[in-house]
A and B are shown apart, each in its own frame.
Chain A
Amino acid sequence: MAAPMVNFYFQLIAFAFLHQCTGTSPEEFFKSGHTNNWAVLVDTSRFWFNYRHVANVLSIYRSCKRLGIPDSRIILMVADDMACNPRNPRPATVFNNANNQINVYGDDVEVDYRGYEVTVENFIRVLTGRLPPSTPRSKRLLSDEHSNVLVYMTGHGGDGFLKFQDAEEISNVELADAFEQMWQKRRYHEVFFMIDTCQAESMFQKFYSPNILAVASSKVGEDSLSHHVDPSIGVYVIDRYTYYALEFLETVTPGSKKTMGQFLEVCPKYQCISTVAKRTDLFRRDVNKVLLTDFFGSVRNVELLPDSIHLQNATLHTHSEDSSDVKSDKPLSYAQQFPMPV
């Protein structure tokens, strides 16, 4: 099919005299294959003694936000409320470290699914897009074929399942089917699946859709362990794998060139005690050439605009008369808080 391709490139390469053209560089392709980033962060455990799972997911949430993914593209599911729990000696805060340095439940946290809304059904519905029409935009995963999606799950798991809310489970087959449906409907470009539970490897063993990179905190038959206890709060505050992953992420800036290959090597056995497992066979690119910010941050493609169309001065209507009248005696008013229709 050489001739049509040549013809196609021929059109793209040239400039026209009066007519608008594309960016300045002669490359026909953007630097990355995705145009936006989404994150789906799920904590599935209830009860006060699972404080560390909430701290896990909120820490990852903070990293994503710091590296550039806005709240409108993060779906945060937290199964229980630790900050306002009556057993919390530091109300309205959640810490991920015994030093209590960072309050990960700050004043700009947006939890999309809270408490009893975090169920297997809602999670599958978010991934596949089969939500009831009344669901607000902030609770929908509106990704498209150019989106890179980060999926992080934490909680209690077993061989082939993950426990939700201490009442139900999601099996690895269901999860694999959900990703396959996302692939069929072109709802992702690439997925990075990160899971921090016991026997976490089993959750990604059944994946069969392309472009998924997965990492788990423990192999089948091993338990993932927590890192340290905070004596003043009285519970374990963070899990080992997430702790060392965060240590790595804290060194990453939005313009960083660190690769996913480096991230996948985080937490060797002497630190994590469980073996970190990964799955790269479904992923098309070489992990050592994939930037970390492709999944955790949001680095956009840009195109400079060398020239624009030329407009004639259109006659301005009577609106100008209105504004000149009103100017003289206009009372002071606040600026509009929300975008108003023109």
Chain B
Amino acid sequence: MPGEEASEEKDKSIQHTAALSFGFICLIIGIPLWWKTTEVYRVNLPYSDIADLSNTKFQFTIDIDVVNLEKSWTDKDLTDLSKLLKANLADDRKVGAIFPKYRVAVRQAAEKQSSDVTSLKTLAALDDYFHGEESSVNKYLIVLMPVNNAVVKQTTIGNYRAVYLPAGKRDLKTVSAEVTEILHSVLVREDALLKSFQNFLGAREPKDKASMRSLSYHQGYDILFTLVNPQPDILDIDWSIKVAVEAYLSPMVKQLSDYINLDIKSQMLFFTGLRRKPHKDKKNSGFYYEETDLPHTINPLEANLGSHASNNPMLNFIVYVPSRDQHPLHIVLKNGEKVKTNSFLSPQWGGIVVQNLPSPPPNSSLPVRVTVDMKTVMEVFLTQLRLLMDFNIQVKKDLQVREVGNDVIREWELDNWLRKKCLENLATSISTLQSLTALLEGISNIVIQDDIGQQVENAVTGIKEAHRHLSSGQIARAFTQSRKALASSEKAFFDPSLLELLYFPEDQKFAIYIPLFLPIGLPILGSLFKAIKWIKTKRKQKAKTE
């Protein structure tokens, strides 16, 4: 009946319209809504910038000033020398990830300077004369001394930023070769810099002693001085550590205060000692440790040293006064010779010095008061500190270096350290950012908060700024920027929120969603198909009737 058919048609069309609208809502509104609400919040990170950084070649600039005091050399000689030097220094080696650029200036000394220098009688006076006005951070002065100068007989490197070369009878080629050699091996050391840069960037090569010994850069180090007295009932030991640190260590701490924070503490330990039994010396009455015994003396002591509250690495410097039944105690080399300083160091940990204080005379009232000679002790500790903090630089035999004395760190050593640590920090920041991006791209359900994005931006900006300062030769500013970049990149990488959503891995998402969506999804899809088929047949009918 047409009425019934019409109403059936109407029912069917209502059904199919309903199915279509359900399908529409599910597919067009529902699925995007579900996608958006279960999306993990991830801030946009500068991935392309970080990828560029790994390909950047860092240039660092060094200024060299050559001052000539040798009267027999004319201006033409100096121009030739300048040309030779520039040719020697201008990249005779391949351009690596970091490469140096030298700015060389050669000039004749003023008359007054020549006459002043002849009146100076010691190397210290010479160093003081040339200190300050001529050289500054990252700017080195090569002084070509006249042939008859009494003070400088052989190439000498001063404590500030001056190098004294007796030019005299040598020709230009040898002088320029020698200057190049000094720059490559002592003042700038590009090879060591390149090696450590590549190491921190990820190339894990076996480390040699110099790079394994020193601590990597941190915001600060804790330094702990300990006096170990196993028999305080016999010896009452007085060590004026406060005064010694104030007198010998504070100048260095102040010099480094802009770059690194050194926190110094001291303590005394009683009734404990180096538990390893020393060997008895048969010839003289005494005891000794060989080098193979030493590693086992540190561990029992370390348990008693006490832990501390900060997260900075700690350097321990221990003065050990042997007990009376092990007195006097020496450390000997393989050939039986005594080690002059009676001390040893352990890389990345600290050092121990054995002080043999005189035994109490018989019939004296115990405990006997004795004093530690703080000067010898501090000499050993400061040498060890120089080695452990990476200030020490090996110099070839034919170069003389002025004795460093109470300054503890030479200025060109400080420059080297700043340059090296700056490049190491940059390499570490870049590799941290790279591994962070690899991690975030690899695991797609880690939430990236806004502050992490901010830290990453800061790190990238810091690296670029540091590079800019390095290439203009301002290593102190470059170092500060690199330090900030390191702190930001570490903060971003070690942020506690960067933990992937545990128990929600990709393959288990299926198992979670299927029981929710499948029971509803199948009927909706089924009715959607039917509705579309119905529309198609209706269209065909319409086309037929038209």
* A residues apposed to B, CB below 8 Å: 3-4, 7-8, 10-12, 14-24, 27-30, 33, 35-36, 68, 70-72, 120-121, 124-125, 128-132, 136-138, 140, 142, 144-146, 168, 173-174, 177, 181, 184-185, 254-255, 298-317, 319-320, 323, 335-336, 338-342
A132 to B495 alpha-carbon distance, docked (Å): 8
* Minimum C-beta distance from A209 to chain B (A): 12
A129 to B436 alpha-carbon distance, docked (Å): 13
List 30 contacting pairs A-B, 8 Å CB cutoff, sorted by A: A18-B402, A19-B395, A20-B383, A20-B387, A29-B207, A35-B347, A120-B502, A124-B499, A125-B499, A130-B495, A130-B498, A137-B307, A142-B311, A254-B296, A298-B299, A299-B295, A300-B347, A302-B294, A302-B344, A303-B344, A303-B345, A305-B339, A305-B344, A309-B379, A311-B378, A314-B247, A316-B247, A338-B306, A341-B264, A342-B246
Q: Which residue of A33, A181, A300 contacts B439 across the interface (Cβ within 8 Å)? A: A181
Q: Is residue B212 contacting chain A, with contact meaning CB distance below 8 A?
A: yes
* Minimum C-beta distance from A3 to chain B (A): 8
Residues of chain B in range 296-320 having any CB-CB distance to chain A below 8 Å: 296, 298-299, 302-303, 306-311
* Minimum C-beta distance from A35 to chain B (A): 5
Residue of A128, A144, A311, A312 contacting most chain B CB atoms (<10 Å) = A311
Q: Is residue B105 contacting chain A, with contact meaning CB distance below 8 A?
A: no
Instruction: Give every chain B residue within 8 A of A24 (Cβ-Cβ).
Output: 333-334, 339
**Do B379 and A336 touch across chains, with their CB atoms under 8 A apart?**
no
Chain A interface mostly: loop
**Do B345 and A254 touch across chains, with their CB atoms under 8 A apart?**
no
Residue of A10, A125, A184, A320 contacting most chain B CB atoms (<10 Å) = A184
CB-defined interface of B332-348 with A at 8 Å, one 1/0 digit per residue?
01100001110111111
Instruction: Give every chain B residue within 8 A of A68 (Cβ-Cβ).
Output: 296, 299
**Do B397 and A15 touch across chains, with their CB atoms under 8 A apart?**
yes
Instruction: Give every chain A residue within 8 A of B213 (Cβ-Cβ).
Output: 303
**Do A29 and B208 touch across chains, with their CB atoms under 8 A apart?**
yes
A342 to B225 alpha-carbon distance, docked (Å): 9
**Do B435 and A12 touch across chains, with their CB atoms under 8 A apart?**
no
Q: Is residue B408 contacting chain A, with contact meaning CB distance below 8 A?
A: yes
Q: Please judge, given known A-B contacts A28-B208, A306-B339, A315-B247, whether A342 and B264 are in contact too, CB under 8 Å.
A: yes
**Do B379 and A30 touch across chains, with their CB atoms under 8 A apart?**
no
Chain B interface mostly: mixed
* Minimum C-beta distance from B411 to chain A (A): 15
**Do A33 and B309 touch across chains, with their CB atoms under 8 A apart?**
no
Other 9 A-B pairs with CB < 8 A, given A14-B395, A19-B401, A308-B380: A4-B191, A10-B185, A14-B397, A140-B311, A142-B311, A185-B435, A317-B246, A338-B267, A342-B266
**Do A299 and B302 touch across chains, with their CB atoms under 8 A apart?**
no
* Minimum C-beta distance from A178 to chain B (A): 10
* Minimum C-beta distance from B388 to chain A (A): 10
* Minimum C-beta distance from B203 to chain A (A): 12
Q: Is residue B382 contacting chain A, with contact meaning CB distance below 8 A?
A: yes
**Do A304 and B291 touch across chains, with their CB atoms under 8 A apart?**
yes
Instruction: Give every chain A residue within 8 A of B303 (Cβ-Cβ).
Output: 70-71
**A-binding segment of B63-71, B141-149, B235-243:** B235-243
Q: Which residue of A lies closest to B238 (CB)?
A: A323
Kindly state the interface size class of chain B when it binds its partner.
35 or more
* B residues apposed to A, CB below 8 Å: 93, 184-185, 189, 191-192, 194-195, 204, 206-210, 212-213, 216, 224-226, 240-243, 245-248, 263-268, 270, 291, 294-296, 298-299, 302-303, 306-311, 331, 333-334, 339-341, 343-349, 351, 375, 378-380, 382-384, 386-387, 392, 394-397, 399-406, 408, 432, 435, 438-439, 443, 493-496, 498-500, 502-503, 505
**Do A312 and B349 touch across chains, with their CB atoms under 8 A apart?**
no
A254 to B295 alpha-carbon distance, docked (Å): 10
**Do A300 and B349 touch across chains, with their CB atoms under 8 A apart?**
yes
A138 to B308 alpha-carbon distance, docked (Å): 9
Instruction: Give every chain B residue within 8 A of A136 (Cβ-Cβ).
Output: 309
A318 to B270 alpha-carbon distance, docked (Å): 28
**Do A319 and B240 touch across chains, with their CB atoms under 8 A apart?**
yes
Instruction: Give every chain B residue within 8 A of A177 (Cβ-Cβ).
Output: 443, 500
**Do A8 and B206 touch across chains, with their CB atoms under 8 A apart?**
no
Instruction: Give every chain A residue within 8 A of B408 (Cβ-Cβ).
Output: 309
A6 to B265 alpha-carbon distance, docked (Å): 42
**Do A70 and B243 touch across chains, with their CB atoms under 8 A apart?**
no
Instruction: Give every chain A residue within 8 A of B267 (Cβ-Cβ).
Output: 336, 338-340
A234 to B277 alpha-carbon distance, docked (Å): 44
Q: Which residue of A8, A14, A309 contacts B383 across the interface (Cβ within 8 Å)? A: A309
A254 to B500 alpha-carbon distance, docked (Å): 40
A183 to B303 alpha-carbon distance, docked (Å): 28
A311 to B251 alpha-carbon distance, docked (Å): 13
Which 8 pairs of residues, A with B, have the shortest CB-CB distance? A314-B247, A68-B299, A184-B435, A339-B265, A339-B267, A308-B383, A16-B395, A4-B191
Q: Which residue of B lies closest to A318 (CB)?
A: B243
Residue of B185, B209, B248 contacting most chain A CB atoms (<10 Å) = B209
Instruction: Give every chain B residue within 8 A of A338 (Cβ-Cβ).
Output: 267, 306
**Do A308 and B225 touch across chains, with their CB atoms under 8 A apart?**
no
**Do B209 and A21 touch across chains, with their CB atoms under 8 A apart?**
no
Q: Which residue of A17, A317, A342 contacts B265 across the interface (Cβ within 8 Å)? A: A342
Q: Which residue of A7, A30, A315 contacts B184 across the interface (Cβ within 8 Å)? A: A7
* Minimum C-beta distance from A106 to chain B (A): 14
